[in-house]
Structure 1
Amino acid sequence: MKLYTIDTGFFKLDGGAMFGVVPKSIWQKTNPADEFNLCTWAMRCLLVQDGDRLILIDNGIGYKQDERFLKHYHLHGNDTLEKSLEHHGFSKDDITDVFLTHLHFDHCGGSIERLEDGTLVPAFKNANYWSNKEHWQWAVEPNDREKASFLKENILPIQESGKLKFIDTVDGVSFTENIKIRFAYGHTDAMMLPQISYKGKTILYMADMLPSVGHIPMPYVMSYDMFPLKTLNEKKKYLEEAVQNNYILFLEHDPVNECCTLQETEKGIRVKDTFKLSEI
């Protein structure tokens, strides 16, 4: 098995929304905001080469949205999905599985491409796309608060292509011999967290359970979360498990840090070490 970091660029989101009830005077120490109160965030994905399968976990925001939409998120940086894949010797056509932790646009927007005639087609033409029935239903019939994050053009063409596959919502279900799937329900319904056995270590892909190192303290819960108290309880469980078992956490949105480990301190659970995936 081999793992590769896939950087798809940076975007910006409101700092207050990203840190919920935590005051700006505190969170800006780790995630400084610009003059518009926007903080920079990564859209960092993970490529897993496991036997004859090449699995891409999430795929960023994509490029098919119009300028009016994209200007709200200030996409920047030199990295793209295609460049990152090419850097490791792959192309989109090599991907066999697209694993979607959840269907918010910044995690699944790259799933679908818009052709010149406006037709929407899978960006990974040789891949199956993986979600779960519970989250899929949640996304295609969204609540009023969350529906701006579930864009039909990112989601429905997957099903129409015949490439959509579902994973059973059983915590710890196997995806491959080396990957099992954990579930979380606070950020959005039935978000999937891949837990990967790699070089004798356990890597937990955190998706939006833990966007960045700056979110490690327990009260640091995003306003984007549908059920913040549930997130708080889930976060406590997962972070305590990570400390006890020395998990490596892969961070999708941290603008600086790819991976971290945790430790127990007098102030609670805090970061222990940060490092790149390639250093494992």
Structure 2
Amino acid sequence: MRIYPIETGNFKLDGGAMFGVVPKVIWQRTNPADVNNLIDIAARCLLLEDGNRLILIDSGLGNKQSDKFFGYYYRWGDHTLDGSLAKLGFHRDDITDVFMTHLHFDHCGGSIQWNKDRTGYEPAFKNAAFWTNENHWQWATHPNAREKASFLKENLLPMQESGQLRFIQRGDTSFLEKSELGFDILFVDGHSEKQMIPHIRYKGKTLVFMADLIPTVGHIPLPYVMGYDTRPLLTLAEKELFLNTAVQNEFYLLFEHDAHNELCTLQHTAKGVRLKNTHNFDEIFS
């Protein structure tokens, strides 16, 4: 039983969009912007090796979109999903499950690829079940105007057409039934309807895969909420509850989108919950 961070490729996003109402003069202290106001973003996923199951949490942007599409996101670095898997001795055909925190393109785009003659799409993990929840699936396949550009049909419909799509029910504890790993899911609705935040009990500690609830270390302070969130006031309430729970229970937060910090712990301060320490994953979980 092992857990590995999986780097699938870095990109850039507008810093203002990533920090909403927080002024640039403040957020650039933790997330410095380039001349185009873009900040570094990771697409860090998580791989769980558990008995005869190999579970990938999120799958990054993928590589099937057009050059024009990727031109908006300024990909950088040399990380790839296949390369990261290969370094660990795995191949995408070994993946048995792909757990998607939500279905925005930067979290699930790697789940679907072109077919061989590029006439259509097919699952990028031919032996895997694709896990989401029914409420979020309906939200994603009938998108509101605000999120429509993030829910791409070519990422979603082939999962259903392949017969590999599965739904997790709220309160269902069977996703990792009989596993030595404790696996719980926090459902949050501020960023997108029924985003799933995995809590994994591993080596006596609780590891939380943050997805878009807290995308980077710079987003820890309570009002630092992305402009992408559909219900920012609800995000505030969800973050406050989570942050206090995280300090109380000494959670380790694994960041999907922080290109420079993998993991952190939190502490109470006079200004509220703040960063305690950053860590490399292997420093804590080797």
TM-score (norm 2): 0.96
- Quote the residue 1:184 is aligned against: 188
- Quote the residue 1:128 is aligned against: 129
Q: List per-residue Cα deviations over 1:134-180 (Å, max 9, x = no partner).
A: 0000000000011000000000000000000000023x744214211
| Aligned-residue CA RMSD (Å) | 0.9
Q: Amino acid of the residue matched to residue 204 of structure 2?
A: G
- Quote the residue 1:213 is aligned against: 217
- Quote the residue 1:262 is aligned against: 266
Mapped pair 1:17 → 2:14: no
> Which consecutive unaligned segments of at least 5 residues does structure 1 have?
none
Q: List per-residue Cα deviations over 1:38-91 (Å, max 9, x = no partner).
A: 111000000001121100000100000001111000111110000000011101
Q: Distance in 1 between matches of 2:15 and 2:89?
A: 36
- Quote the residue 2:141 is aligned against: 140
Q: Distance in 2 between matches of 1:197 and 1:49?
A: 14
- Quote the residue 2:51 is aligned against: 51
Mapped pair 1:232 → 2:236: yes
Q: Distance in 2 between matches of 1:210 and 1:174?
A: 26
Q: Distance in 2 between matches of 1:181 and 1:218?
A: 21
- Quote the residue 2:153 is aligned against: 152
Among candidates 171, 194, 207, match of residue 203 of structure 1: 207
- CA-CA distance at 1:118 after TM superposition: 2.1
Contact map agreement 1:216 1:271 (CA 8 A) in 2? yes
With over 3 angstroms needed to count, the CA separation of the structure-2 counterparts of 1:231 and 1:173, relative to structure 1, is farther
Q: Amino acid of the residue matched to residue 19 of structure 1?
A: F
Q: Distance in 1 between matches of 2:78 and 2:123?
A: 24
- CA-CA distance at 1:11 after TM superposition: 0.7
Q: Distance in 1 between matches of 2:232 and 2:190?
A: 6
Tell me which moved more, 111-120 or 72-81.
111-120
Q: Distance in 1 between matches of 2:173 and 2:230?
A: 24
Q: Amino acid of the residue matched to residue 169 of structure 2?
A: D
Q: Distance in 2 between matches of 1:257 and 1:128?
A: 30
- CA-CA distance at 1:185 after TM superposition: 0.4
Q: Amino acid of the residue matched to residue 269 of structure 2?
A: T
Q: Distance in 1 between matches of 2:220 and 2:241?
A: 12
Q: Distance in 2 between matches of 1:243 and 1:73?
A: 34
Tell me which moved more, 115-124 or 53-62.
115-124
Q: Distance in 2 between matches of 1:161 and 1:220?
A: 39
Q: List per-residue Cα deviations over 1:195-252 (Å, max 9, x = no partner).
A: 1010000011110000000000001000000000000000011110000000001100
Mapped pair 1:61 → 2:61: yes
TM-score (norm 1): 0.98
Q: Amino acid of the residue matched to residue 217 of structure 1?
A: P
Secondary structure (helix, strand or coil) at the match of 1:135 reads: helix
Instruction: Map residues 101-116 of structure 1 onto 2, 5 A cutoff.
Output: 101-115=101-115, 116=117
Q: Distance in 1 between matches of 2:244 and 2:78?
A: 36
Contact map agreement 1:174 1:180 (CA 8 A) in 2? no
- Quote the residue 1:168 is aligned against: 169
Contact map agreement 1:174 1:181 (CA 8 A) in 2? no
Q: Distance in 2 between matches of 1:117 and 1:197?
A: 41
- CA-CA distance at 1:92 after TM superposition: 0.1
- CA-CA distance at 1:9 after TM superposition: 1.2
Runs of 4+ in 1 over 6 A off after TM superposition: none
Aligned length: 279
Q: Amino acid of the residue matched to residue 51 of structure 2?
A: G
Tell me which moved more, 114-123 or 134-143.
114-123
- Quote the residue 2:41 is aligned against: 41
Secondary structure (helix, strand or coil) at the match of 1:5 reads: strand
> Which consecutive unaligned segments of at least 5 residues does structure 2 have?
none
Contact map agreement 1:169 1:190 (CA 8 A) in 2? no
Q: Distance in 2 between matches of 1:61 and 1:14?
A: 17
Mapped pair 1:223 → 2:207: no
Q: Distance in 1 between matches of 2:113 and 2:164?
A: 15
Secondary structure (helix, strand or coil) at the match of 2:261 reads: coil
